[in-house]
Amino acid sequence: MLHNCDLCGNSTDFLSLPGDPSGKISICGQCGFVLVRERRSVAEIALAWDEIYKSGHYDPDWPGVKARLYYVAEWLDQNIGLTGKSVLDIGAGSGLFMGFVRNRNAYPVGLDPSPDNCGRIRQQDMACFQGFASDDAPGIGQYDIVTLNWTLENTGDALAVLRYAKRCLAPGGHVVVATGSRILVPFKKPLSSYLPQDVSYPHDTHCYRWSYETLSDAFFHVGMLNMAPDTNDFEQRDEMVVAFSVHEMTMKGLAWPRHAPFEVRDYFKRWETCFP
């Protein structure tokens, strides 16, 4: 199914993304958001990720995966505090991050669509619900912290996931997103390793590529804001970690600043030239 831009609703004005051999990743011509428009259903994307796990094309035991999740847990503990906090990890995978959180005296609960992943988490004596984060999903309680670690970009409906995360948030809590998307910041890896080079790759398993601004825009849509300094030094690191909280201020008449689409396209052109 072909989707409009998730952030601004644009349906016709899109630019091609330099360095993308498939032509499936687009830049919204109105707000500069980088997205895959042609997607399967949320359930089909989740099933595809289950197959990716089983095939070994992604493994939570890879050192790099462990290192980045350990970093997020430590960042959370130092900047927000984990001791005594309840934590819901959406897209919990095999529970590795949940274990890091539990080791810091927090109380983690997982949500994952994969029955195999839920089983692995329960074998570690941690609670996990099988299901999706969506507008019609049943509530599973309220938590001090809700985390989305390398998950939001891999969903088919980011705003629905954020609305669900907000619904699961206790008063005064935070929704925390960790992602490898770092658009409009210094290049940290070859563009060819950031964008799939295999044209047969199922691009809708990675529907979104975030900048700080587009991520903040998505949260703005659901009535949440990032209040610095609850942000890591993502200009210097491979990952971006941002904490958002609910604000009662009226959002009517306000607008989050957006990228110029050609600025985003030119950024990827420079990346393709300097660090292919």
Q: Which pLDDT tens digit goes with each residue over 130-148? A: 999 999 998 899 999 999 9
Question: Which pair of tokens denotes residue 38?
Answer: 């042609």
Q: Which pLDDT tens digit goes with each residue over 173-183? A: 999 999 998 89
Q: Please determine, for residue 257, whether its predicted confidence score (pLDDT) is greater than 80.
A: no
Tell me what the mean pLDDT of segment 89-95 comes to: 96
Euclidean distance between CA atoms 24 and 155, whole angstroms: 16
Q: What does pTM read for this prediction? A: 0.95
Q: Which pLDDT tens digit goes with each residue over 143-165? A: 999 999 999 999 999 999 999 99
Identify the pLDDT of residue 254: 60
Q: Please determine, for residue 66, whether its predicted confidence score (pLDDT) is greater than 80.
A: yes
| 176: Cβ contacts below 8 Å, ≥ 6 apart | 72, 76, 80, 145, 146, 147, 148, 241, 242, 243, 244
Secondary structure element (H or E) that encloses residue 148, with its range = strand 143-149
121 vs 43 pLDDT, higher one: 121
Check: CB of residue 97 under 8 Å from CB of residue 89: yes
Q: Please determine, for residue 228, whether its predicted confidence score (pLDDT) is greater than 80.
A: no
Q: Where are the domains of the chain?
A: 40-261
Identify the pLDDT of residue 52: 81
Question: Which pair of tokens denotes residue 246?
Answer: 């609910």
Check: CB of residue 154 under 8 Å from CB of residue 205: yes
Euclidean distance between CA atoms 17 and 75, whole angstroms: 32
Identify the pLDDT of residue 3: 96
Tell me what the mean pLDDT of segment 46-52 comes to: 83
Q: Please determine, for residue 72, whether its predicted confidence score (pLDDT) is greater than 90.
A: yes
Strand order through the sheet with 34-36? 14-16, 25-28, 34-36, 208-209
- CATH number for the region 40-261 comes to 3.40.50.150
